[in-house]
Amino acid sequence: MHEVTGDRVRRLITDGGKPVLIEILSTGNEFLVKALTGKLPAQKFIEHLLDEWFDPFRDTAQFYKLLKKDKDLHSLLRYTGFHMVGIPDLFEALCWSVIGQQISLAFAYQVKRRFVENFGNSLEFQKRKYYLFPQPAQVAMLHPDQLRSLKLTQRKAEYVIGIARLFSSGSLSKEKILKLGAEDLIREELLTIRGVGEWTANYTMMKALRAMDCVPFGDAGLNNALFRLKQIPKKENRTAVAIFFNNFPGWKTYLVYYLWMRLRDKNGDMDLNSPKP
């Protein structure tokens, strides 16, 4: 769905009309966006997309100040400058988090790739194929067996199709969800969806809605990271996790993101002097 080379990324987008392949170049101070095929959507549309995707205007100074207060968290400061990558499309975010439930990330990526390549609209440019995430209306018509063959479980196949139906029928949309306002109300609403539990609701809210205080309780990776950094006594201790995060009001989501990055760096022996992003 997106292709990164050096300081630029290509991605197929649509504002409801014909899909357009765009290329975004980051200079460090600004994004330069151009259409490689077709016509670039309105400036407002592009600005909004970049906002939701890269969160460029977030002032993280306060967050780093909080990290500095705890010695055990100093290793997270090596990610200074990283802003959380979002998933602007709510349908995609929900599907992705359902797909990723309970399985390793590597496997989850494989499944998502198969899903996108089988059911997403695509466009070829310079001999490479670029995909949009599958549209709800199309997914709504699938039979669970079509998703099972991509290695989703029967349950997950039902969840994904069910979510697609909610979107294609119009009973669920990002606009409607945002209109609820308070994070608690949104979380409550998401939890009524079959296949969406606490983990998925929080993951979706942080990635698609940019809610700032989301903690995906129960997350295996998160628990591991906190245990390694000596922030919780045992790997599974919901209360300890909650207490830990309460020290970071307004930054819980970012802290989760940084902890996930920290986990990726294996044993934490990354060179602290490596260049910053």
Partner DNA sequence: TTCCAGGCAGTAG
Partner DNA sequence: CTACTGCATGGA
Q: Which residues bind DNA (CB under 7 A)?
A: 97, 100-107, 151, 153-155, 193-201, 203, 207, 218-222, 224, 260
Minimum distance, C-beta of residue 116 to DNA, in the bound complex (Å): 17
Shortest Å, Cβ 41 to DNA: 27
- Residue 21 or 215: the one with the smaller Cβ distance to DNA is 215
> Of 9 and 123, which has the nearer Cβ to DNA?
9
In whole angstroms, the minimum distance from the beta carbon of 16 to DNA comes to: 27
Which tokens go with 259? 């902890």
CB 164 to DNA: min, Å: 15
Q: Which of 7, 184, 219, 265 is catalytic?
A: 219
* Single-letter amino acid code for the residue at 104: S
Whether 219 sits among the annotated catalytic residues: the reply is yes
3-state secondary structure the chain: CEEEECCEEEEEECCCCCCEEEEEEECCCCEEEEECCCCCCCHHHHHHHHHHHHCCCCCCHHHHHHHHHCHHHHHHHHHCCCCCCCCCCHHHHHHHHHHCCCCCHHHHHHHHHHHHHHHCCEEEECCEEEECCCCHHHHHCCCHHHHHCCCCCHHHHHHHHHHHHHHHCCCCCHHHHHHCCCHHHHHHHHHCCCCCCHHHHHHHHHHHCCCCCCCCCCCHHHHHHHHHCCCCCCCCCHHHHHHHHCCCCCCHHHHHHHHHHHHHCCCCCCCCCCCCC
- Smallest separation, CB 51 to DNA (Å): 20
Name the residue nearer to DNA (CB basis): 113 or 194: 194
- Closer to DNA by Cβ: residue 107 or 125: 107
Q: Which is nearer to DNA, 101 or 121 (CB)?
A: 101
Tell me the catalytic residues.
219
